[in-house]
């Protein structure tokens, strides 16, 4: 099912568009030319011609968001994503973080029981939904954004054990934060530990691991082991990478029926932008494989020259190359 609902327009182009959005991250759910009386989704009204272009398929809905223009603004607006990462205010009530693993997670808490470490990690995909690119971002944190974690006994919020302050800027810049929680065992076992927080993101979960945290790294270095295939300089390969000052194009050099045999069978294929080493994670380029299959290429607007960075991926059978 498409996230975008296109309402057929009359010959007279309307001046107002109703933009329905996800209240947690501003992701646009659909755009309509008429008000949906029975919808429970929140919306903003815009006269921006970009809404009409989205409805006609001329530009991508994923390049836009509903957000505050800046931290001093009290009004949400339909706007094009830029390099500003705007973190929403925390909800007013406390929420207990569940222990059930989630596939679609925003914030993940992992307790490593053997060396008493808590790792708080943000999903890079969640960051991407808020901004155009993670490697070239300016952080704009709402003064009401609070990522504080309150350590409790599980299902007993009255039993407060500790308070862990999480710096939003540090988490968003580094991808994860690590805390020593060895003192918690004076009051409860790790199996009985719980956390409550005022959510800035929708989906949190807690995971207990009976092992040590080996790599206590402040950056998004978890990509190092999995994404080790670089885009290489060559004249031949499966997908050519074409750079310009403001965008990047991935162009297939093989027939569509060959893409599956080199591991490119999913709907999207992620290429990771790093600095001079795989440890220096900077951002993610998500290639829409439907465009590759249908048109033979996929273009991504970056608003930056990526020739200064290294691109890596996790498809060892796929050869991505550039002639530059």
Domain boundaries of the chain, sorted by first residue: 17-80, 95-218, 224-322
Q: Largest Cα–Cα distance of the chain, in whole Å?
A: 71
Better pLDDT: 89 or 17? 17
Say whether 61 sits in a helix, a strand or coil: helix
Say whether 29 sits in a helix, a strand or coil: strand
Of 57-71, 242-256, 283-297, the range with the lowest mean pLDDT is: 57-71
Q: How many helices (H) and strands (E) would you count in the chain?
A: 6, 24
Residue 264's pLDDT is: 83
Residue 104's pLDDT is: 84
Decide if 115 contacts 14 (C-beta within 8 A). Answer: no
Query: What tens digit of pLDDT does each residue of 155-198 get?
Result: 999 999 999 999 887 887 777 889 999 999 899 999 999 999 99
Specify the DSSP class assigned to residue 303.
Answer: S
Nearest to 204 by CA among 95, 93, 127, 129: 95
Residue 139's pLDDT is: 62
Query: What tens digit of pLDDT does each residue of 273-300 get?
Result: 887 655 567 778 889 999 999 999 999 9
């Amino acid at each position: 099912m498409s996230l975008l609902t296109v309402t057929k327009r009359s010959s007279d182009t309307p001046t107002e568009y109703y933009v329905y959005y996800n209240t947690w991250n501003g992701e646009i759910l659909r755009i309509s030319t008429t008000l949906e009386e029975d919808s429970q989704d929140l919306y903003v009204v815009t006269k921006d011609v970009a809404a009409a272009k989205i409805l006609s398929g001329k530009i991508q809905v994923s390049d836009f968001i509903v957000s505050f223009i800046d931290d001093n603004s009290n009004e949400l607006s339909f706007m094009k994503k830029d390099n500003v990462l705007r973190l929403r205010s925390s909800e007013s009530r406390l929420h207990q973080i569940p222990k059930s693993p989630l596939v679609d997670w925003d914030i993940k808490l992992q307790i490593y029981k053997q060396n008493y470490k808590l790792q708080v990690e943000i999903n890079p995909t969640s960051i991407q939904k808020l901004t155009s690119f993670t490697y070239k971002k300016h952080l704009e944190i709402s003064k009401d954004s609070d990522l504080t974690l309150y350590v409790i006994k599980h299902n007993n919020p009255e039993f407060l054990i500790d308070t862990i302050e999480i710096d939003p800027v540090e988490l968003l810049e580094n991808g994860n934060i690590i805390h020593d929680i060895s003192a918690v065992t004076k009051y409860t076992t790790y199996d009985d530990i719980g956390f409550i927080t005022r959510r800035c993101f929708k989906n949190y979960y807690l995971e207990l691991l009976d092992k040590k945290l080996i790599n206590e790294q402040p950056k998004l270095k978890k990509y190092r082991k999995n994404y080790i295939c670089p885009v290489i300089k060559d004249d031949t390969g499966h997908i050519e990478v074409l750079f310009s000052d403001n965008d990047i194009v991935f162009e297939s050099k093989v027939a569509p029926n060959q893409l599956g045999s080199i591991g490119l069978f999913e709907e999207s294929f992620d290429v990771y932008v790093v600095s001079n080493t795989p440890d220096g994670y900077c951002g993610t380029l998500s290639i829409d494989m439907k465009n590759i299959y249908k048109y033979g290429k996929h273009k991504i607007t970056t608003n930056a020259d990526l020739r200064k960075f290294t691109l890596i991926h996790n498809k060892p059978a796929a050869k991505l190359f550039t002639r530059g």
